[in-house]
Amino acid sequence: MKGTELNYGDLEGVLKGLLENKVVDCLILPRRVGNNVSYMLVRDKDKIATPESVIFAPSFGINAANIVKGWMIAEKVGIVAKPCEIRAAIEMIKLKQLNEDSVLLITVDCAGAFANEVYAANYADIGDQVDSAKIKELAGKGISIRDACAICDNRLADVGDIAIAQAGGEKAVVAGLTEKGEAALSAAGLSLEDKDLDRAAEKEKIEAEAKQNLEGLPKISSEEALEEFLRDCIVCKNCRDVCPVCYCKECFFDQPLGNPVGGDLLNLAEARGAIEVPTNQLLYHLTRVYHVSTTCVACGACEDACPKDIPLTRFYPVIAKKVQELFEYVPGKDAKEPLPFTTYEEDELEEYLK
C-alpha cells in the first residue's frame, strides 16, 4: 500500500485537503464538545479544527454508519470513524443501504472505547488516547471500557479506503487501503510512498485478549435464562433504531401483529385468555438477532441505547459471532464478499448437520 507518516497536527490539513480539492463534498468526523465527543457533518473546510485531539478519542456515542444509512445520493461523503463503524458501513453497502460510489471510508485505530457519558465524567483520567496498559489501569479505578470493545478483535485500521494508524508518539501513518483511497490521498495533496502496515503480532495479541474477555462474559444458556435476561425490556426498539445494519423498510414490530394496541391487544387477550404486556419481548429480540446475525459488527450501540441497561452485548454480538463462524464470514472485511444466505453451495454447512 501507499501512504505517508505525519505528525498528529498535520491530520487537519489532510482532512481539509479532501474538502478543498473536492475529493468529497462533506465529511463526517468526530469533534470535541467540552469533555465529550460527538459527530458533525462538515462542508466548510474552515470548520475543521484540531482533529488530533478527538480522532483517537476512546469514546463511543453512536455508530457513525447509522448517520449515512440511506445515503443513496450522488454527493460524496467521507466518514472518519472507528473500525466497527466502517465495517458497518461496508455491510450497509452490501445491503443496498449505502451507495458505494458516494462514500469514502476512513478508518482510525481504536484501542477500545468508553460509553460517552463515562468518558465525559472521567475525561481528566482518560484523556485523548488510551492503550491496553492504560485501560487496565483505569479498570482498577472502576472506569471500564464497554463490553463490546473488550470482546472486539477488529480494533486496527485495516478496512475501508484509507487507514489512519497510530505510529507511536505523536505520529500517524495515513495510507490508502484501496485504489480509491490512494487516489483520494493524492488528490488531497499528499505525497505517497510504499508503506508496510503489517501488524500481525499486534492483531494476534488483540485477538487473544478479546477471546479471553468473551469467554469471561456471563452465558445465557437456556430459554428460561434468556427470558430472565430480557425481563426488564420495554420493547422501546431503541436497539433497533441505533443499529446500522437493522435495515427493514417496514418493521414487523411496527405493524398491528407485532405491536398490538387498543382493540388488537384486547382481541389477543380474548384469544389467549391473557397476554403479558409489553407484548412480544422474546419474539422481538429473537427476530432481531436472526436478522442481524450475519452482519452484526458487534459495535455495542444496542446496549448503549437500552434505557433499562440490559447488557445486550452478551446477546447480540455473542450469538452473531457464532453464526459468522459457521459461515467463516467476517462482516465488513470486504465490500465485494457476498453476504451469507445470498449464495449457496451444495455441501455448505454439511459438517454441522451430521
pLDDT for residue 249 is more than 90: no
- Do 48 and 153 fall into the same domain? yes
Residue 343 has what pLDDT? Answer: 78
196, 216, 236 — which closes off a domain? Answer: 216
- Do 325 and 301 fall into the same domain? yes
- Do 288 and 209 fall into the same domain? no
Cβ count within 10 A of residue 124: 7
Neighbouring C-alpha atoms within 13 Å toward the C-beta of 337: 14
Percent of the chain with pLDDT over 70: 99
The SS3 call for residue 30 is strand
pLDDT for residue 49 is more than 90: no
Which residue range is the domain that position 287 belongs to? 223-353
pLDDT for residue 246 is more than 70: yes
Q: What's the mean pLDDT in 265-292? A: 91
Residue 351 has what pLDDT? Answer: 73
- Do 292 and 200 fall into the same domain? no
Question: Which DSSP helix (H) or strand (E) runs through 317?
Answer: helix 316-326
Q: Alpha-carbon distance 285 to 304, whole Å?
A: 16
Least confident of 21-35, 49-63, 117-131, 295-309: 49-63
**Per-residue confidence band for 354, with pLDDT thresholds at 50, 70 and 90:** low
Q: Alpha-carbon distance 92 to 88, whole Å?
A: 6
- Do 25 and 90 fall into the same domain? yes
Residue 168 region by backbone torsions, left for phi larger than 0, else alpha for psi between -120 and 50, else beta: left
Q: Alpha-carbon distance 184 to 21, whole Å?
A: 9
Helices 179-187, 11-20: inter-axial angle, 10-degree rounding: 90
216, 236, 258 — which closes off a domain? Answer: 216
Residue 21 has what pLDDT? Answer: 96
Write out the E strands in 93-238: 103-108, 114-115, 162-166, 171-176, 193-194
Q: Alpha-carbon distance 260 to 151, whole Å?
A: 37
pLDDT for residue 353 is more than 70: no
Q: What's the mean pLDDT in 111-137? A: 95
Give 146: exposed, middle or buried? Use CB within 10 Å, 0-12, 13-18, 19+: buried
Q: What's the mean pLDDT in 267-289? A: 91
Q: How far is CA 96 from CA 53, 69, 100, 251, 298, in A?
A: 34, 10, 9, 17, 20
Cell of 263: 382493540
Q: Alpha-carbon distance 3 to 190, whole Å?
A: 8
Residue 342 has what pLDDT? Answer: 83
- Do 182 and 229 fall into the same domain? no
Query: Is the link from the previous residue into 278 a cis peptide, with omega within 30 of 0?
Result: yes
**Per-residue confidence band for 349, with pLDDT thresholds at 50, 70 and 90:** confident
Check residue 278 and report its DSSP letter: S
- Do 243 and 341 fall into the same domain? yes
Q: How many domains would you assign to the chain?
A: 2
Residue 31 has what pLDDT? Answer: 93
- Do 197 and 273 fall into the same domain? no
**Per-residue confidence band for 166, with pLDDT thresholds at 50, 70 and 90:** very high
Alpha helices (runs of H) in 41-82, residue ranges in sequence order: none
Please give the angle made by the CA atoms of 79, 318 and 225, to the nearest 5 degrees. Answer: 140
Q: Alpha-carbon distance 53 to 129, whole Å?
A: 8
Give 92: exposed, middle or buried? Use CB within 10 Å, 0-12, 13-18, 19+: buried
Q: What's the mean pLDDT in 23-39? A: 94
DSSP string, 106-122: EEE--S--EEHHHHHHT
Report the chain's C-alpha Rg in angstroms: 21
Sequence-ordered list of residues with C-beta below 8 angstroms from that of 42, at least 6 positions apart, any chain: 19, 26, 27, 28, 29, 48
- Do 240 and 301 fall into the same domain? yes
pLDDT for residue 158 is more than 90: yes
Helices 281-292, 316-326: inter-axial angle, 10-degree rounding: 40
**Per-residue confidence band for 124, with pLDDT thresholds at 50, 70 and 90:** very high
Sequence-ordered list of residues with C-beta below 8 angstroms from that of 74, at least 6 positions apart, any chain: 102
Percent of the chain with pLDDT over 90: 81
Residue 275 has what pLDDT? Answer: 86
pLDDT for residue 4 is more than 90: yes
- Do 179 and 61 fall into the same domain? yes
**Per-residue confidence band for 189, with pLDDT thresholds at 50, 70 and 90:** very high
Residue 53 has what pLDDT? Answer: 83
Least confident of 40-44, 62-66, 273-277: 273-277
Residue 75 has what pLDDT? Answer: 95
189, 216, 243 — which closes off a domain? Answer: 216
- Mean pLDDT, all residues of the chain: 93
- Do 184 and 242 fall into the same domain? no
**Per-residue confidence band for 348, with pLDDT thresholds at 50, 70 and 90:** confident
- Do 151 and 268 fall into the same domain? no
Give 250: exposed, middle or buried? Use CB within 10 Å, 0-12, 13-18, 19+: exposed
